[in-house]
Amino acid sequence: MTDTIAPAAAAVASKAPSKHKAASQSLWTERAMMAAIFVGILALWEGLVRLFEVSPLMFAPPSEVYATFVRGTARGLYWEHLKVTVLQMIFGLGIGASLGFLFGVVISEFGRAGRLLFPYLVAIQSLPKVAVAPLVILWLGFGMESKIVLVALITFFPILINTLSGLSIVDAQRMDLMRVLKASRWQQFRFVRLPSAAPAIFAGLNIAAVLALTGAIVAEFVGAQRGLGVLLLQAQTNLDTAGMLVILVMLAMIGMCANVSVRLLERRVTYWVVRRENGT
């Protein structure tokens, strides 16, 4: 029997490196295709603008956008505004996500308190944040504090709803097992309810990360001294289309970095979750 098992084990061990190598090659192939698509979009953009002689005031070509970015970087135009916007986004997201998770747990675990709080939270979320922004800026001024509060208001509700949704879906067999083992309410929450809700909570965090950037820019539109939103308004006033496109590209990059960061954090925290990738 040992003679039969040994060749089978050797065959399985030999397949593992080849499988890992194939996955690595597939990843690099996908990255190369993404890079090729990006280059193709830039080339098509440049070609169409040149071919149809589109006015730079209407739509600047990538070469002009890059030249504008280089000039602005040489003058130190972007860094300070970029830092302000990113900090507002991070702090606002942190506060909004923390409060959304906390209120979600309270509403889920304490039924009466949840029924009392939830209608007011929905009413606050229903208020358009653009309409609330002038009032918040009146209270807190044109500094970062008002922008952080607005970002927190925008990111609060997605985390709250996803936390409630995740905590409401629990494996009944696991809960029965915890009751048989006489686990406390805290142990049930820590070892069953929270791990089961983690994927849904991170899904809400992914949405909130994108909304945080949107909230920071909208808040800067309403009233701010620094930030990428301020630069965008200045470029619009000066009819600087290339300058506006530079800011938009920077915002897109920030959003992509935020999305990747949340996904990496999710993979590290929810390491037990089996994910479906590449159609398998």
Do 92 and 222 reside in the same domain of the chain?
Answer: yes
pLDDT of residue 148: 93
Q: What's the mean per-residue pLDDT of the chain?
A: 84
The pLDDT score that the predictor gives to residue 202 is 93
174 and 97 fall within a common domain = yes
User: Which residue range is the domain that position 49 belongs to?
Assistant: 1-53
* Same domain assignment for residues 95 and 207: yes
Residue 277 lies in a domain: no
| pLDDT by 10s per residue, the chain, length 280 | 445 544 544 444 455 556 666 666 777 888 888 888 888 888 888 888 888 877 777 888 888 889 999 999 999 889 999 999 999 999 999 999 999 999 889 888 887 777 787 788 888 778 887 788 888 888 888 888 989 999 999 999 999 999 988 888 877 788 878 888 888 888 888 888 888 889 999 999 999 998 999 989 988 988 888 899 999 999 988 888 999 999 999 999 999 999 999 999 999 988 877 666 554 4
Which of 122, 151, 126 has the alpha carbon at shortest distance from 136?
Answer: 151
In this structure, what CATH number is given to the domain that contains residue 264? Answer: 1.10.3720.10
What is the reported pLDDT for 21? 67
pLDDT at 9: 46
Residues 159 and 191 in one domain: yes
Considering the domain boundaries, does residue 83 fall inside one? yes
> Are 194 and 230 part of one and the same domain?
yes
* The pLDDT value given to residue 12: 46
